[in-house]
Structure 1
Amino acid sequence: MIDEKQADQMQLLEAYRKCCQTRDLIQAAFESAYEGIVITDSNGFIMMMNQSYAEFLGVDAKEVVGKHCTEVIENTRMHIVAKTKEAELAQVQRIRGGDMIAHRIPIIQDGKVIAVVGKVLFQNARELHALSAHVLRLQKELNYYQGELLKSVGAKFSFDDIIGNSSKIRSVKEIAKRVAGSDTTVFISGESGTGKELFAHAIHKHSHRKFGPFVRVNCAAIPETLVESVLFGYEEGAFTGAMKGGKKGKFEMAHQGTIFLDEIGELPLTMQAKLLRVLQEKEVERIGGMHPVKVDVRIIAASNRDLEQMVKKGQFRQDLFYRLHVVSLHIPPLRERREDIPLLVDSLLKMLSHEIGVYVSGVDAAAMNALILYDWPGNVRELKNVLERTLHMKDGDLIQVNHLPVHVVKGGTGNPARYSLKEALEQAEKEAILQVLKAADNDKIRAIQMLGISKSSFYQKLKKHQIKI
C-alpha cells in the first residue's frame, strides 16, 4: 500500500517531470528559431541568447549569459526598454557596420518589468527592402490580373462615363445611383443609341456585385432555336452536338454578379415563361438536366420597344412585364437634351482621336449649331458615327459645316429642300441659338458659354436673327 507521503512525492515528481518537458520544449523552440532572440533581466543582464543571434554577433551563447547587454550587443537598447516599459517595434539598429531590424518587448508582471525580449526581424535592412519589393511586385501582378479579369467579365463603364448636365440626364443618373446599391431588378427603356447598356454597366459597377461578373446578352441576336441553351445551358448528351461535360448558360455565368438582357422584347413567349421562373425561383434548369441549379443573379433588362403595347397585343407576358418593372429608367433621346450635345461632341472627339489617330482642335460655331439642331434619330450612337466620318473628311484642325454630312446640316430645318446651303446654315444658327437659350432658361452668360462664341458675336447674332429675350 502506498501511504499519503509517498503519493505526494509521486505527484511532485510528475509535476517536476512535466516542468522539465515544458522547459526542454521551450528551449528547443528558442534554439531552433530562425530569428535571433535574446532575453535580459530587468537590469539589462543577459539571461538567454539563442545560437542564431550568437552566430550573428560572433559570440558564444553560453559565455554571454550573465553579462550586461551593453558589453555584448552593439548599440543595444534592451536595458533602456526595461526602464521605460515601452516596447520598441521594428527599430533599426546598427551592428557590425550594417543595419538590422529588431523588436524590443518588455515582459511586465504585477506592474514591474521582469525581463526584456529582443528579436531580430531582419539581420540586414536590405532583406526588408527585398521583401518589400517582392510584396509590391506580387501586389502589382495581382492588380494586373484582377484588372484583366474585370475587363473580360466586369463592367467597363461608370456613371462618370455618362456625359451630360441636362436636368433629364441628371435625374436618370440620380435614380440609377440610388437603385444601384440594391439587388432590385431594373428595366431600362429608351430609343436605340441612347446609352441603355452604358447605364447597365454603371449600375453594376456602382453595386456591391462590382467584383462579380457582368454578363451581357443581346436577345435580338440569338436565333430562336438557341435561346434556351444560351440562357440556361445544357447537360452532356442533351442533343446532337452537345459539348462533352455540358455547358453553363449565361445565368450561371453571371452567378453572384449581374446579367444584362438587352432587347428583351425580342424573347419568344416560351422563353419569357422560363425567364419568369428564374426571377421567381432564383434557379435555372439546363436542357437535359435532372435538377435545377440555384443562381444568385441581379437582372437588368432593356428594350427600345414599347413593352406595355406589346403586352396589350399579347406579344409580351404581363406577369413578366411587372416583374421586370420594379424600377424603370427611361433614357431621354438626344433631341430632348440638346444642351448636352457640345459636351458629348467634345468627349466623343477625344475618344475617337485616340482610337483612330486623327486629331482636331475643336468644332466651329456653325458646325456645332448644326449638330445641336439635328434631331439624331440614332441618338448618341449616330452622333459618334457622324463625328468619326467627319474626322476622316476634314481638311484642317477645325471641324466646319462643310465637313458634316448634308443630311445633318439640312436635317434640322424641317424641309431641307426649301433652302440653299447658306439659308440652311442661317436657319440652323437661329434654331440653335433658340434651343440653347431655352436650355439655359434665357441666361445669356450660360448661352454664350454653351455656344462657344464671344459676347459681341452673340449679340450680333441676336440682332441678325431678330431674337428678343
Structure 2
Amino acid sequence: MTQAFLQDSHAIHKHAMASLFAQLDSLCEGAITVDRKGRIAWINDKYLAMLGVASAQEALGQDVETLIPNSLMREVMRLNQPILLDIMTIGAQSMVVTRMPLHDAQGDVIGAVGFVLYEKMNYLKPLLTKFAALQAELAQAKRGLAETRRPKHTLDSFVGESPASVEVKRLARRAAQQEASVLLLGETGTGKEIIASAIHAASPRSGGPFIGINMAAVPEALLEAEFFGVAPGAYTGADKRAREGKFRLADGGTLFLDEIGDLPLPMQGKLLRVLQEQEFELLGSNSVVKVDVRVIAATSVDLDYLMREGRFRSDLYYRLNVLQIKLPPLRERLSDLALLSQALLKEISRRTGTAPRRIGPGAMPILSAYRWPGNVRELANVLERGCILSDNLELDAVDFAFLGPAAASVAVNYAEALAAFDRNIIALALQDNGGHVPAAARQLGMSRATLYKRIAALGLAGRKHA
C-alpha cells in the first residue's frame, strides 16, 4: 500500500508540475526555455510576437542573447539560483520577468526557463502604488514610535528662577554629563519626570530612546514581563512572537523608573542584577540579552524609612543613589509662581484652542497663600478650572475662591468671598444642566425667578428652555 501511495504521489507531483507550467504558459505574456549551453530550446508564440520573430524555427537553436540581448538565463544556470522578480529592458520596452533553473533527475542543471509576467510596467502601477502606500505608512509609524520615545522635555521645561529651581537645573546639567545612576526625590507633582527627560535630552544618549515605567501603575504579577519581556510561547496564552520589555526598548538610551519605592522586594534583586551586569533573561527563556541602559529613578516616599522597615534593599538604594537631586515642593519656591502660572496658562490655551489668559494682581495673593499639596500638577489643574469657570481674560481673586476660605481670606472680604461662592456654584449648576435655567434652579433648590436675578447680577448666561 505504501508503494502504491508513493507511486500515486509521484504521479500527482509530476502532473502538478506539468499543469503548473501549462498554467504559467497560458497566463504570462511570454515563455522561453534554454538548454545548458544557453541555446533556445522552446519559445511560445506570444514571446515570438513580442520579439518580432515570425516563427519558432527562426529562434530554436540560437543563443538566447541573439534574440534577448539582456538575458540573464546563463547567470541563472551558472549560479543555480532563480531570479524570481526582475525588470528586463528590450529596446524601449521594460518587462517584469521571472527566471528559474531546470534540473534533471539527479539534480544537475540542464537548462533554464523564463516567463514574462507583464509586458508593460504600467500593469504594475496599482501594485507599486499599494506598496508605496504601505511603505509610507510604515515609515510614518516608525517616526511616530521614535517621536514617542524621544525626550519631551528640556531643562527649559522646568520653569523657575528661584534659588531652589536654579540648583535643581545645575545638578541636572551635571547629571547629563555623567553615566551614573540618578535618584530624583520629591513630592508628587514636583516635576521629577520633566527633570529625568531633560537629563536624557542633554546627555550623549539623547539620540536614543527615553522609556518610562511607573512602578505603582503595573500589577506586581506583570512587572517582570514589563521589565524584561516575554519569550515566544513562554506560557499558555502567550503571544507566538517575543514581547520586548522596557529594558530592551531603552537599549542605547535612558530608562526612567518612577515611584521606585513601590517596587516589590523580589523584583528589587532582579533589577539590581541588571543594573550591575547590564544583561537579563526574557521571561520563559534562558538566553541572555545584553543592553546598554542608563537608569534614572524617582520616588515621592522616604526610601531611608523603607530600608529601616526592610521593604527596600540597601544595595539597590546605593546603586541608584549615585547622584541625588531633590525637587522642592511648590510652597518652597513661591517666587516661581508667576512664571509657572504664565507658562501653564499658555499651554492650556494651546491645548484647548482658547484665548490666552493671564493672572491678575488680585489673584496672586490667593495663589501664594495656598499650600499646594499637589504642587505644580495641582497648580495646572487649578488654573484650567479657573479658565473654565471664568469668562475673563484676566483671572482675578474671585476666579480662585474655590481654593477655600483659608486662601480667599487673605485677599478678599466676606462679601467678595460670598459673591465668588455664589457665582461658582451657579456656574457649576448651569454647566451640569447644559445652561438650562429651570433645571439648574431645581438642582439648587431655588425658584427660577431668583436664579434669573442671580444670573443677571453675576453676568452669567443661561437658557430658559431646553
Q: TM-score range with shorter-chain normalisation? A: 0.5 to 0.7
Deviation at 1:144, TM superposition (A): 8.9
Is the CA contact 2:330–2:376 (under 8 Å) kept in the aligned structure 1? Answer: yes
Looking at structure 1, the residues matched to 371 and 358 of structure 2 have their Cα atoms a distance apart, in angstroms, of 21
Q: Deviations over 1:298-353 (max 9, x none)?
A: 00000101111000001111110111100001100000000000000000001101
Q: Which sits farther off after the overlay, 361-370 or 147-156?
A: 147-156
Q: Deviations over 1:101-158 (max 9, x none)?
A: xxxxxxxxxxxxxxxxxxxxxxxxxxxxxxxxxxxxxxxxxx9999645422111110
Partner of 1:196: 192
Alpha carbons of 1:424 and 1:179: their partners in 2 closer, same or farther (altered >3 Å)? farther
Give yes or no for the alignment of 1:388 onto 2:384. yes
Give the corresponding residue for 1:246: 242
2:224 partner amino acid: E
- Does residue 330 of structure 2 align to residue 323 of structure 1? no
Give the Cα–Cα distance (whole angstroms) in 2 for the partners of residues 251 and 292 of structure 1: 13
- Within a 5 Å distance, the mapping from 1:169-188 to structure 2 comes to 169-188=165-184
Equivalent residue, structure 1, for 2:129: none
Amino acid at match of 2:259: E
SS of the residue aligned with 2:148? helix
Which of 259, 262, 266 is matched with 2:262 structurally?
266
- AA paired with 2:266? T
CA deviation string 1:365-406 (max 9, x = no partner) = 111111122110000000000111111111222111111142
State the 1:285 CA deviation: 1.1
Give the alignment's Cα RMSD to 1 decimal: 2.6
Supply the AA of the counterpart residue of 1:371: L
Residue in 1 aligned with 2:349?
Answer: 353
TM-score scaled by length of structure 2: 0.57
Do the aligned residues in 2 keep the contact of 1:410 with 1:424 (CA within 8 Å)? no
Cα deviation 1:30-55 (Å, max 9, x = unaligned): xxxxxxxxxxxxxxxxxxxxxxxxxx
2:221 aligns with: 225
Cα distance in structure 1, aligned partners of 2:252 and 2:234: 26
Counterpart Cα distance in 2 of 1:346 and 1:311: 40
1:397 to 368, 393, 396: 393
Correspondent of 1:420 among 409, 414, 417: 414
- 1:158-200 CA-partner distances (Å, limit 9, x unpaired): 0011100000010011011011022110010100000000001
Call closer, same or farther: CA 1:208–1:347 in 2, change over 3 Å: same
- Give the unaligned 5+ runs of structure 2: 1-138, 420-466
Is contact 1:189-1:330 (8 Å) kept? yes
* Cα distance in 2 between the residues matched to 1:210 and 1:144: 21
C-alpha contact 2:229 2:242 (8 A) present in aligned 1: yes
Q: Which runs of 5+ in 1 are unaligned?
A: 1-142, 426-469
What is the deviation of 1:360?
4.2
The 2-side partners of 1:238 and 1:149 are apart by 26
- Shift of the 405–150 alpha-carbon distance from structure 1 to 2, 3 Å rule, reads farther
From the superposition, tell whether residues 261 and 349 of structure 1 become closer, same or farther in structure 2 (CA, over 3 Å): same
Residue of structure 1 in register with 2:444 after alignment:
none
Percent of aligned pairs with the same amino acid? 43
**Matching of residues 19-418 of structure 1 within 5 Å:** 148-408=144-404, 410-411=406-407
Matched with 1:18 is none
What are the Cα deviations for residues 10-49 of structure 1, in whole angstroms up to 9, with x where unaligned?
Answer: xxxxxxxxxxxxxxxxxxxxxxxxxxxxxxxxxxxxxxxx
Letter in 2 for 1:359: A
Does the Cα contact within 8 Å between 2:346 and 2:357 map onto a contact in 1? Answer: no
Compute the TM-score of the two structures, normalised by the length of structure 1.
Answer: 0.57
Separation of aligned partners in 2, 1:209 and 1:340: 30
Q: Is the 8 A contact 1:258 1:300 kept in 2?
A: yes
Q: Check conservation: 1:409, 1:424, Cα contact below 8 A.
A: no
Q: 1:362, 1:409 → 2: CA distance? A: 23
Aligned length: 282
For the residues of structure 1 that align with 2:255 and 2:415, how far apart are their CA atoms? Answer: 48
Distance 1:406 1:385 in 2: 12
Amino acid at match of 1:212: G
Counterpart Cα distance in 2 of 1:406 and 1:421: 15
- 8 Å Cα contact 1:165-1:340 kept in structure 2: yes
Q: Distance in 2 between matches of 1:353 and 1:295?
A: 41
Give yes or no for contact 1:370–1:409 (8 Å, CA) kept in 2.
no
1:420 offset after TM fit, Å?
A: 3.3
Distance 1:228 1:316, change over 3 A: same
> Matches of residues 437-448 of structure 1 in structure 2 within 5 Å?
none
Deviation (angstroms), 1:408: 5.0
1:302 alignment partner, SS class: strand
What letter corresponds to residue 223 of structure 1 in structure 2?
P
What's the secondary structure of 2:362's corresponding residue?
Answer: helix
Shift of 1:358: 2.3
Q: How far is 1:357 from its partner? A: 2.1
Conserved 8 A contact 2:200-2:210: yes
Partners of 1:412 and 1:402 lie apart in 2 by 8
Distance 2:408 2:261 in 1: 31
Deviation (angstroms), 1:411: 3.7
